[in-house]
């Protein structure tokens, strides 16, 4: 079974705001097609989406298509993974990190 189905890719700002209000735990991967390090964490995001399916929602936001969203959270570099609980930003992981850092951040919110 493909893990791709678990991640909502390239969401837009309106969709993001809707998910923020609907999802208990939302993991947002700010990425770009030209970003090498982003490609390194992409499989980790897929693994996270699969492992926490039904408990956390993982989405990708392309920074080139969503600059206001990127700026709204004071981000200056990618990859950047933001984790929200009940609509509040609770964790910001910038740069390439091991899977355990992402899964640990989600785990403590469950």
Q: How far is CA 6 from CA 2, 48, 50, 63, 94, in A?
A: 8, 9, 6, 20, 22
The structure tokens 């951040």 sit at: 105
**Structural domains of the chain sorted by starting position, each given as residue range(s) with its CATH number in brackets:** 3-107 (3.40.30.10)
Q: Is 74 designated active site?
A: no
Q: Are strands 57-62 and 80-85 parallel, antiparallel or unpaired?
A: unpaired
State pLDDT tens for residues 72-98. Answer: 999 999 999 999 999 999 999 999 999
State the average pLDDT over residues 14-31: 94
Statement: the pTM of the whole predicted model exceeds 0.85: yes
Catalytic, out of 11, 38, 80, 81: 38
Task: Name the active-site residue from 7, 25, 26, 35.
Answer: 35
Say which residue the tokens 């964490």 belong to.
41
Predicted pLDDT of residue 5:
53
The reply to whether 63 belongs to the active site is no
For 63-79, the pLDDT digits (tens) are 999 999 999 999 999 99
> pLDDT-derived band of residue 13, with 50, 70 and 90 as boundaries?
confident
Q: What is the pLDDT of residues 23-32, one digit of tens each?
A: 999 999 999 9
Instruction: State residue 88's pLDDT score.
Output: 96
Q: How crowded is residue 109: how many other Cβ atoms within 10 Å of its Cβ?
A: 17
State the Cα–Cα distance between residues 84 and 53, nearest whole angstrom. Answer: 16
């Amino acid at each position: 079974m493909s893990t791709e189905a678990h991640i909502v890719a390239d969401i837009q700002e309106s969709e993001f705001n809707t998910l923020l209000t609907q999802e208990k735990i939302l993991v947002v991967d700010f990425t770009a097609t030209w970003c090498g390090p982003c490609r390194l964490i992409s499989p980790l995001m897929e693994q996270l989406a699969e492992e926490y399916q039904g408990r956390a929602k993982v989405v990708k936001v392309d920074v080139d298509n969503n600059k206001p969203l990127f700026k709204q959270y004071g981000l200056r570099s990618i990859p950047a993974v933001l984790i929200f609980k009940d609509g509040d930003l609770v964790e910001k992981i910038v740069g390439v990190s091991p899977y355990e850092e992402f899964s640990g951040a989600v785990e403590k919110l469950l």
